[in-house]
Amino acid sequence: MSSSNCCFLTCIQISQEAGQVVWYSHLSQNFPYLRNSFSLNHWNTFRNSTYPEAPPNPEISPTETELRIESIMEKLDQLIPPRPFTNVSSTTSATHSRATLLSPRDTYCRGDQLEVLLEMRDHLGRRKEYGGDFLRARIFSPALKAGASGKVTDFNNGTYLVSFTLFWEGQVSLSVLLIHPSEGVSALWRARNQGYDRVNFTGQFANGTSPVFSKCGLTLHTTAELCEYLDYRDQEAFYCLKPPRVPCEALTHVTTRNADISYIRQKERALFHRSNVGVEIMKNFASIKVSACENKNIETKCRLGMKSPFPSGYTVKRKWIAAFCKQIELNETKTINDCLKRKLIYLMGDSTLRQWIQYLPKMVKTLKYFDLHGVGPFKTHVLLDAERHTLIQWKKHGHPFITQSLFSVKDDNYIPREIDRIAGDKDTAIVITLGQHLRPFPIKIFIRRAINVQKAIERLFLRSPETKVILKTENTRRLFDNAEMFSDFHGYIQNLIMRDIFMDLNVGIIDAWDMTIADSTNNIHPPDYVIENQINMFLNYIC
């Protein structure tokens, strides 16, 4: 079996035996379709930390979840081994590396594969002898506003094979960016898993007319009395220093600030300087010409549970076209209204999914906001069409949620608990996105959350198997954001984990990662045309 025909965590072992690892610049190709803060009445416990009965201790009796987390961690550590680092001159250099077109032709046909060989060198021009660089490959045609991502196969010897599918006709250009050298990837992975304190959480407690503020977090190393907000079943926890003479139940709001803490070593910091992030690798060829030749049309309608090929799609004139199923163009109000009639739609996640509920009224004028009396951008948002009995709700996911805005936690829940509250039926759809707010924390936090969401979906399918569940992957963001906390490398790894954990579930995927690489948006909040493409893909799944 080749490394490109296996799912991620299994693929690691197979690929290493063959001496290569596949890094997909959009994500792994063969994952099947992916198979909120706390609410008092749904917490298993809400009390001071000096409680008589202790929660289960994974170190004494490992649960199935703990064993799965450790297994995934072991495989990730194999995929991202420590790399030697002495100084920047010995790290991978985009300007000294070369991209060579294999088997060049005067003209290519639409649907052909295009392959490029990368030979990586360091800043002194010496050949690299190992892989692990984080690369992003893309083809594009500016005149057509067209783009698609590429697959990168790492041979672990300083060479890579970049593969593209030529989806459209015309002049096509290629780009391969060195986002981080392997030494930078190794530093990011080590630093990420060292600490929880890169973000400062502050909790606001109600106390008459004068609220009280206290330090909070996912962990707090102190001997002081704590308020522990623990979900026993899912082993998700949040803590606050207990304010004097104020009950733990009085916590109402939380806000965050980035801490001035870094686990990147001093000599490694140059690797993440703006000039060393997202640098174009030199190539010895210009654009290529693609002709129509023989076109093959896809006839299978998009549906949940379909396997995703590589890549999952492409854009032309800023319209996303799936590469594995036939989309229906839902651009007329009546068509969309008919699709949404009697639908209950629950959007669970971060502000990249909140963009949907902000954009939908532009597409469907009959959807009106319903005020649930919240305050600020992170309150629960609801759209209603009473005549057609349509309800669409967005609710943010649970801790950690990173924003300087003060947000309410009065009715918050983790996503698994929100899913547990939904009855489900053939007209109910759930969309989940998870990841951007978890990038600054050790990866075990993310793995546990993903497993808990998977289990909640399995419980939902037991009681209502006809319910439609869709996962929207993380999208890319600015290349020059704080790399230690927010690098797309963290998002890439999280996307791989999600696809592996969910691969056996009959759910769908909206590949926001691939979409934003194809369009090269590099913005945590993509523009409206990307949001419209995501919604259109969602409607194709549920209609």
Provide the mean pLDDT of the chain.
89
Q: Which residues contact 494 (CB under 8 A, 6 or more apart)?
A: 434, 435, 438, 439, 443, 446, 474
**pLDDT above 50 (res 24):** no
Q: What is the pLDDT of residues 391-413, one digit of tens each?
A: 999 999 999 999 999 999 999 89
Q: What is the pLDDT of residue 310?
A: 77
Are 229 and 350 part of one and the same domain? no
Tens-digit pLDDT profile for residues 354-369: 999 999 999 999 999 9
Residue 62's pLDDT band, with cuts at 50, 70 and 90, is low
Same domain for 334 and 456, yes or no, is yes
Question: Residue 323: phi, psi to the nearest 5?
Answer: -90, 0
> Could you tell me if 404 and 537 lie in one domain?
yes
Q: How many CA atoms lie within 13 A of 167 on its CB side?
A: 28
Strand partners, 44: none
- Say how many C-beta atoms besides its own lie within 10 A of residue 537's C-beta: 25
Are residues 458 and 358 part of one domain? yes
CB atoms within 10 A of CB 223: 5
- The pLDDT value recorded for residue 10 is 38
Sheet holding 21-24, edge to edge: 21-24, 151-154, 159-165, 113-122, 92-101, 282-283
Q: Comparing C-alpha atoms, which of 353, 372, 358 is closest to residue 411?
A: 372
Query: Residue 317: its pLDDT value, please?
Result: 97
Q: At 332, is the pLDDT very low, low, confident or very high (cuts 50, 70, 90)?
A: confident
Tokens of 435: 């990841």
Q: Is residue 146 scored above 90 in pLDDT?
A: yes
> Considering the domain boundaries, does residue 360 fall inside one?
yes
The CA distance from 445 to 442, in Å, is: 6
Among the ranges given (9-13, 66-70, 373-377, 393-397), the one the predictor scored with the smallest mean pLDDT: 9-13
- The rounded distance, in Å, linking the Cα atoms of 96 and 71 is 38
* 78 within domain boundaries: no
Structure tokens at 488: 């797309």
Q: Quote the pLDDT of residue 308.
A: 79
SS3 assignment, position 53: coil
Tokens of 26: 């959009």
Q: Would 31 be classed as within a structural domain?
A: no
> Is the same domain home to 249 and 359?
no
Q: Is residue 4 part of a domain?
A: no
pLDDT at 194 over 50: yes
Mean pLDDT of the region 254-268: 96
Determine what percent of the chain is predicted with pLDDT higher than 90: 81
What was the pLDDT predicted at 375?
85
- Note the pLDDT of residue 390: 97
CB contact at 8 A, 471 and 499: no
One-letter amino acid of 115: E
* pLDDT band at 374; cut points 50, 70, 90: confident
Co-location of 119 and 208 in the same domain: no
Predicted confidence at residue 94, as pLDDT, reads: 97
Same domain for 252 and 282? no
Q: Are residues 109 and 178 in the same domain?
A: yes
Residues 336 and 238 grouped into a single domain? no
**Per-residue pLDDT at 295 exceeds 80:** no
Residue that the structure tokens 């001496």 belong to: 19
Indicate the number of domains in the chain: 3
In a domain, 142, yes or no: yes
Residues 6+ apart with CB under 8 A from 110: 166, 167, 168, 169, 290, 291, 292, 293, 295
For the purposes of burial, counting CB atoms within 10 Å of the CB of 64, is it exposed (0-12), middle (13-18) or buried (19 or more)?
exposed
- For the four alpha carbons of 312, 526, 133 and 100, in that order, the dihedral sign comes to positive
Tens digit of each residue's pLDDT (9 = 90 or more) over 161-180: 999 999 999 999 999 999 99
Do 288 and 99 form a contact (C-beta atoms < 8 A)? Answer: no
Band (330; pLDDT cuts 50, 70, 90)? confident
DSSP 301: B
80, part of any domain? no
What pLDDT is attached to residue 226? Answer: 97
- Both tokens of 229, joined, read 């907000």
Percent of the chain clearing pLDDT 70 (strictly above): 89
> Phi/psi zone of residue 161: left (φ > 0), alpha (ψ -120 to 50 degrees), beta?
beta
439-453 pLDDT, tens digit each: 999 999 999 999 999
CATH number at residue 522: 3.40.50.1110
* Average pLDDT value for residue range 282-288: 89
Structure tokens given for 90: 């010995």
State which residues form the domain around 130: 88-187+274-291
Q: Mapping DSSP to helix (H, G, I), strand (E, B) and coil, where does residue 250 land? A: helix
Of 290, 313, 329, nearest to 143 by C-alpha is 290
Q: For residue 488, is pLDDT > 50?
A: yes
The answer as to whether 64 is a domain residue is: no
Measured distance CA(219)–CA(81) in Å, rounded: 27
Q: Residue 35 falls within a domain, yes or no? A: no
pLDDT of residue 61: 55
Say yes or no to pLDDT of 323 above 90: yes
Neighbour tally for 143: CB within 10 Å: 8
Separation CA 402–CA 350 (nearest Å): 10
Confidence of residue 322 (pLDDT cuts 50, 70, 90): very high
Q: Are residues 330 and 469 in the same domain?
A: yes
Asked if 72 and 12 count as a contact pair (C-beta separation under 8 A), the reply is: no
Across the chain, how many H-helices and E-strands are there? 11, 28
Helices within 217-320 (DSSP H only): none
The span from the CA of 304 to the CA of 32, in Å, is 10
The verdict on 220 and 355 lying in the same domain is no
Map residue 515 onto helix, strand or coil: helix
Per-residue buried b or exposed e for 267-299, using 16+ beta carbons within 10 Å of the residue's own CB: ebeebbeeebbbbebebeeeebebeeeeeeeee
Top pLDDT among 310 and 62 is at: 310
> Does one domain contain both 104 and 151?
yes
Q: Is the pLDDT of residue 382 over 90?
A: yes
**Residues in contact with 530: Cβ distance below 8 Å, sequence separation at least 6, in sequence order:** 475, 512, 515, 516, 519, 521
Q: Exposed, middle or buried: residue 221 (CB in 10 Å: 0-12, 13-18, 19+)?
A: exposed
